[in-house]
Structure 1
């Protein structure tokens, strides 16, 4: 061996040792990184547990304060506290550290930009008084923007502007955005790729695209958001600051599919992903879901998988979107099989290789003129090379307008997936365009086609080939099979179903409850105003007819036939107010409730205003509208009662434009003529107390009972209702139903006296 070759061999060995050492070093650093990330996650979980423990202690303290022994002690020490207050010249606080219901929150005259944005990051930790203060500051900073506030507002956060013609996930997102833009103002925010073609498509559908690294500018563009939806879990980590920029919003993570399920399945298939990396990714995904108020899954199976790891998370099913009337099955026997997918998605890459290399040759051996079309975007060389095989044509990217034609050329689609999660867009689309599907259990997941009735669901490539041969030879009625598959999918992925599921996930169902008796004219005005001015997207109207004999029953039947949101309840007797409302409050046990009198007319955005006020804080149980007389004079901006049995409607006969009547404010109670009650409030304190049957004081009793259970009542200027006061029951308190006003006030005082509910029971006034 020459000297030169010896040196070369030595240098080669030295280089190999160095590469090996570097590889080990990189591997060790990766392990350290994974360990650090896991420790960070555990530290965050410990912080979360500590926070839960703190909340538990606070609840225990509150229960002690609400206990009888504490209240007795508070009353016993009242004389000493009165002397102390006189000496100090200060008013004593109640056991619950309550804000006096008779005084609105004191708001600053102006809000600086610096102060406002400093406050944003702290809002989630604010108590109720601070949150009310912040909400009013926000309105001052951004302006009233009344037109803006009337519609639901949704902000989607995405890694890129969705390329609807490149991947199933992006197509789903694009279609969901379009559907929701029919009922809400929709914004999309991204710092990723934003080709003009896709931005223009969104803007054409009234979706506002924002690409700006300054998040403060984002808040200026969107003064309020009802929900922030992070599409794909990792966008939450990339844009977590948005949860602070929009503290009032419901935080939703759209899983698109359960990534950890797909990755764990791919490990079994020999994927290059390591087990350590897959476990770390799973922990990150779970952490993102835990940080949200709600998670969207595309199938019930995905939802169950998420709940198995996070049992207390709220999961909603928002699936792919496909119209099942795109194209009917063609009887023309083309003997053509189609595979259509995005090849940046690894499960598609392996599936098309199995189809071309294992399944299609068997089919060709029996059907010599069989053809396989391989279509889709971002195909690597190993996929394009499949097009050189006999009977296989690589089509590549297909423009949106050319999609119907490629399906028209085909009879079957075969999808032999080894990994994946969620519902498969390629299967839904193929069925929508008239094709019959051959796939396995992974492909059928979330759809649940019945084998030989709605498709062919088999395990091995050999079985797929055998059924494909028999199908192409005419042994099965593929048209009937496709029609059955369409019917099943229409219940899962039709635009109407997905739109309803998404809106119901974001906005809780609300039952608007109206009791009426022989004033059809008033009721018609009321219902017309609701149907005309309600932008809130998820409501129904329950109307209880109290033995009406003036044509109301017939009117309600006719209206219900025209609008399914109207549900008449036709009684032969007059049960007045309390009991009919109680039954309506319980009729839909998952729904929030709004009580409306039949002698009111609502204004645009009234229900959005009530909903937003109620959900500003978990400490709020009831919200109410600003009530005006028909001439525009203020009737009340909330109300309060006093220890001597008197009370007042705050602002009565006043100017509704004054600043004190245009701030979200805590009050003693709100009128049952326009009263929003959260379902969580009903679960905690029940419905109206039956001792106030048939009517009067039930609304004040309810709000003060809520206060005694730690739930506040607020009144909002963003919901305006006109009330024809006394149009139904009159104004004479000495006769008729109005006479119950005095008797029920005595019951109220007996029930609530000396309880911590915001009434100054020590006062003689």
Structure 2
């Protein structure tokens, strides 16, 4: 009996232990169910996060069933005191094992709820990514995570979601081409030959060798037209030191690919450049510009990432070549979209590839030119000696290009099923699992991506060429390149109805619905073989739509770009040689088409009046005003300002020599910062912070050194209390509010201090542009007064200034 009691006690102890474990298991189930409800809610909000999540959920459900079964067994064991000890122990072991397994699965589910792990382990379908990005901010606000983890999680999610996507309407290339190492980059090349034309710096969206697209085609044609062209690759060199590597792309040494050095080699598609990246990029591009000895620059930007760099390049015209409706991709960071808007507004010229983009662009910029896509006609029009052949001899209905989210798989399936007796040939990178979706259509053949050079091999084998796009904002904005290429080969084209298809007239059959699309294909097939005149009509149209035509249109749009008028007032008093050097530099180095030069002579006694009269003859943009007496610095300049008609006004001493692109440089700072009321350049000789150290002794050497100085400081400026009026620029709005210089100061001294105080009194600011240099001889006219007269005049005007503005703060040099 004692043994039975002990056995009963043991069994009772096991029962209590089992009950305790059961309670713990129940609590564990409740916790898991609570977690599952949270995950389920996230799944409902995000429409089934991943296929893996669904798989794990099914696994969890199976484990729940197992758990319920084990609970039933456990309950039965606890109610049966007749169970043997080893059976109770076995049940306890099973419960423990089950608990461990559940804990492991629970941890996996927690990892799955952490987006970063799910993203790293199993990429989502493109359509899910698009939806996730739009809702991510809202979802992150609901997640029970601390701010630091949310920030890290968001960063990891963006890096996955914003991976680069192919561009619609562009030609395909082989995956091997993308994975091959770049050709050996040439170093220590001599600079390209000098030219009077502006050089082109084209900031690309892909590497030159990845795919041949619009940017490369335009770059090739601009180089053929004589413009030295630097194609800036998006593939950076990871290096802490600034620099670049150059690759010559043609024998004429007019076309180069440039790879810039940037620490970390960031991808341009994910986020705007950091401040550190911008600084290093500026240094790297400065080294390129010095090496190439460039003058004026046409900066053609293909992606918003480059905007903070391109806007800083001295003596440049900023062109944004807007190829696509980037927001339509759905995976572009909002920061990049905001940067694109800023680029659209700031660009000197905004190029749109379609009417849809033009309408959007004109809301941001008045200077918009529509320059559509085109084809390399000579390449696509020539039939290769060998072309693709179907082993079964079927007619070929074909398409080449990216097979991405804008590709209508349902439409292609309808075509394949309707024309089951024909071959549906699809060429291009499949990023939307089209092959899997169309596996039930045996007449659909996927060739994958092929090299650009192989496209005619397939194109000339096609009996009908398709453009089977979905009608979405992205494609509504697209001017499809491949249609030009199809027509270059004389091929009949059937497309969905898109706005840009109207530009092709009846050369392309455009269908509004799948029924019409199939009917159009049937009409083409029934009309085969087509008359040679029909084929030639298509080719003739394409022959007038080449990249050479588009490059010429781009060049014309840049050359005819309206520029704000700038009026330069130069006050002279004797010193003819200095005046001649100043005016010659204005004509030679300003590189600005809408420049008005107004020379006011303060009754010079040398040959200056005669020279000026002869200098202005036959030049309506040169105005000479001869004062009957010496009105002094302020009054003399006021005469010129009153005669000026420009949108921007410049006061320039006649003892200065301007440098290349100085007008655009000062203008850029005024346009980029509406709070600047007046701005001046750095110089070699002045009594304040605008003075910088220089080495040159001859004026001929000054231009080379000034380029080195300004390239190294591109985009930089600083606020200054008082600008010296040897060279200042201000908008007409400043002049309209303040008026001219104060004439109470007579011959000179302190009128520049006074004017700056009046500017600041309006809440505006005075700035010095670090990337604009103007040579200054310093006080050439005042030196004729003599030291004593200058001192008397200085003290008199100082007293006048202090009576108006308080104690005068002497000018200082910058800290070196």
Q: TM-score, normalised by structure 1?
A: 0.48
Higher relative contact order (CA closer than 8 Å, sequence separation 6+): 1
Q: Answer with 1 or 2: which has the greater Rg.
A: 2
Q: TM-score, normalised by structure 2?
A: 0.46
